[in-house]
Amino acid sequence: MDIHEHQAKAILAEFGVPVPKGFVAFSPEQAAHAFRQLGGNNCVVKAQIHSGGRGAAGGVKLCKTEAEVRSFAATLLGKTLVTKQTGAGGKLVERLWVEEATDIAQEIYLGFVLDRKSERIMIVASGHGGMEIEDLAENDPDSLVRMVIDPAAGLVDYQARELAFRLGLKGSQVAQFATTLRACYRAYRDLDAMMVEINPLAITGAGDLVALDAKMSFDTNALYRRPQVEALRDPGQEDPRESSAHDNGLAYVGLEGDIGCIINGAGLAMATMDMIKLAGGEPANFLDIGGGASPARVVTAFRTVLTDPNVSVILVNIFAGINRCDWIAKGVVQAYEEVGLSLPVVVRLSGTNVEEGREIIRTSGLPLISADTLAEAARAAVRARPTPVAAE
């Protein structure tokens, strides 16, 4: 789960990271009021969307007067901002962050991420901040410094000092940097984060360190024990399909294809998507209904898949262990009755109560397409798609 910049800064500030003073604004009037609260001096107005690259897309501006703040806020609010990370659809700007301007002498990149290879938290830093990490890795790979944190010891002082020296920091900046590192690590660890990024971590003209931008992402599976984090969720910034699935407790990721998938188990879901592509099709989603899925949950899964207007056929692939094929079959039939399905549906069942499940499908009287194997189901789903109309 992602959060907004101003929310990430508020969290990091609680852990001890220095951040500029600022205010959230939901209207041009509130933005102008924030400018006055900041002393009526230069300020930076930033669009708050879950995406990087806002500055290059026109979503960030240094404003010198209240009139300039009000005008820029009126231009941004309600606008769909398209960045290189949002895709062509962009994201709607519904709030702004107005913060005091900072005298920048140098910019540093600092990120904490989960390194799955080492199964450790990794620090990635560079003395050249202000760029996306992908650009840094491509354009200046030698500037990247990586350091792995041992979970048994945590971030230790010598690592913080070593990283500061490798970034060229001196004097009091070393202690300030160490404080910022420890704060970021505690925030990452204590809140079940997946990523903490400060870019840039600026060195001011006075030689102090301050976080000018911040991003945080959190482990969705841990939100049940972090209600204070879940409260920061902004559904308006999420894919509406994924937002609907989240609200119904389903594991769902929207894709670009047209074959909707309802699967149990993440591994089987990945294998099903691979098989669909091998058969010449494109999956519309990843959806894991989980173990012990009731007929009602299967209906919910159908409703979720159908929120994607691109879906032209649905593939149900169940290998029942904890699940039961007869439950799934009843759910498929129930979905036809409740949702009013008109799309082709391919059903492949295997495992617990498979014969009972297949019998329910066979005697339903519905135009369901049965398959015995995954490969057969994938081919059937590809064949069931509407035939493209040839160009005249």
Q: Catalytic site residues?
A: 109, 197
Tokens 């049940």 -> residue:
224
Instruction: Find out whether 264 is annotated in a ligand binding site.
Output: yes
In contact, 187 and 217? CB cutoff 8 Å:
no
Q: Any idea how long the chain is?
A: 392
Q: Is 127 annotated as belonging to a binding site?
A: no
**Local structure of 360: helix, strand or coil:** helix
Contact between residue 72 and residue 46 where contact means Cβ atoms under 8 Å apart = no
**221 appears as a binding residue in the annotation:** no
Q: Is 373 annotated as a binding residue?
A: no
Determine whether the annotation assigns residue 154 to a binding site: no
Q: Report d(CA 174, CA 169) in Å as an integer.
A: 6
Please write down the HEC assignment for all residues of 132-189: CHHHHHHHCHHHEEEEEECCCCCCCHHHHHHHHHHCCCCCHHHHHHHHHHHHHHHHHH
Give, in order, the Cα–Cα distances in Å from 233 to each of 187, 229, 230: 17, 7, 5
Nearest alpha-carbon partner for 377 in 273, 290, 300, 291: 273
| Rounded CA separation 362/326 (Å) | 12
53 is an annotated ligand-binding site residue: yes
Q: Is 139 annotated as a binding residue?
A: no
Considering just the CA atoms, what is the radius of gyration of the chain in Å? 25
Residues 6+ apart with CB under 8 A from 127: 106, 108, 143, 167, 168
Residue 274 labelled as part of a binding site: no
36 annotated as belonging to a binding site for a ligand: no
Question: What are the binding residues for Mg(2+)?
Answer: 199, 213
Q: Annotated binding residues, as ranges?
A: 46, 53-55, 99, 102, 107, 199, 213, 264
Binding residue numbers for substrate: 264
List the binding residues for ATP. 46, 53-55, 99, 102, 107
